[in-house]
């Protein structure tokens, strides 16, 4: 988030991004593929490693193509009394405005750089972050703001 009175961030910041949770599952599948192909190919390392590298290369290429086709972008703007969430895709733009006084619960995950806000109407608003620093700035801000609303 920038250090202006109007705090904001954009997700994703780069053209090609692999989410941390996605990276975790691809890593697990790659290890399973390596082990399976090693034992299936009569304990030969070279073909097993080549299959695993081939799988990872195909995954990255397909993921990049899908991201290019979908071209999703999210913008978050924090104002004094609400947060605006703007989701842009090839098919259109959706805007949401979440007032801080309406937030009943929030959850942020610093490991996978995501989170959500739940309003009193039980509507969930998903958030994505690019860096741990962005999520920490938002967490500090939301905690201070929610404390003000409880008083």
> Do 119 and 52 reside in the same domain of the chain?
no
Say what the pLDDT of residue 70 is.
Answer: 75
DSSP 77-98: EE-SSEEEEEEEETTEEEEEEE
Find the domain containing 31 and state its range.
20-70
What's the angle, vertex CA 73, arms to CA 67 and CA 77, rounded to 5?
A: 160
Residue linked to tokens 């590298």: 53
CA distance 77 to 99: 12
Counting the structural domains of the chain, the total is 2
> Do 61 and 80 reside in the same domain of the chain?
no
> Do 44 and 80 reside in the same domain of the chain?
no
User: Which pTM was predicted?
Assistant: 0.69
Please check whether residue 1 lies inside any domain of the structure: no
Query: Which residues touch 63 (CB under 8 Å, ≥6 apart)?
Result: 16, 18, 22
Last residue of a domain, one of 49, 70, 91: 70
Say what the pLDDT of residue 6 is.
Answer: 52
Tell me how far apart the 2 most distant CA atoms of the chain are, in Å: 68
> Do 88 and 144 reside in the same domain of the chain?
yes
> Do 66 and 99 reside in the same domain of the chain?
no
Last residue of a domain, one of 38, 53, 70: 70
Q: DSSP assignment, residue 100?
A: G
Is residue 8 helix, strand or coil?
Answer: strand
> Do 64 and 77 reside in the same domain of the chain?
no
* pLDDT tens across the length of the chain (151 residues): 444 345 888 887 766 677 788 888 999 999 999 999 999 988 899 999 999 999 999 999 998 888 888 778 889 998 888 899 999 888 889 999 998 888 888 999 998 889 999 998 889 999 998 888 989 989 988 888 777 666 5
Please check whether residue 89 lies inside any domain of the structure: yes
> Do 113 and 84 reside in the same domain of the chain?
yes
**Residue spans of alpha helices (H) in 2-107:** 20-40, 45-70
CA-wise closest residue to 9 among 118, 141, 146: 141
Say what the pLDDT of residue 15 is.
Answer: 63
> Do 98 and 137 reside in the same domain of the chain?
yes
Say what the pLDDT of residue 9 is.
Answer: 81
Give me the CATH number covering residue 113.
2.30.29.30
Query: Which residues touch 9 (CB under 8 Å, ≥6 apart)?
Result: 1, 2, 75, 76, 129, 130, 134
Polymer length in residues for the chain? 151
């Amino acid at each position: 988030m920038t250090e202006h009175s109007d705090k904001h961030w954009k997700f994703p910041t780069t053209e090609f991004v692999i989410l941390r949770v996605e990276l975790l599952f691809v890593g697990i599948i790659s290890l399973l593929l390596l082990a399976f192909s090693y034992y299936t190919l009569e304990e030969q390392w070279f073909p097993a490693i080549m299959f695993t590298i081939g799988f990872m290369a195909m995954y990255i290429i397909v993921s990049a193509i899908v991201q290019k086709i979908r071209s999703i972008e999210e913008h978050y703007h924090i104002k004094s009394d609400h947060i605006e969430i703007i989701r842009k895709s090839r098919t259109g733009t959706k805007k949401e405005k979440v007032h801080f006084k309406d937030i009943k619960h929030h959850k942020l995950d610093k490991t996978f750089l995501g989170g959500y806000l739940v309003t009193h109407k039980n509507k969930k608003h998903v958030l994505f972050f690019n860096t741990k620093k962005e999520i920490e700035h938002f967490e500090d801000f939301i905690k201070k703001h929610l404390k003000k609303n409880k008083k």
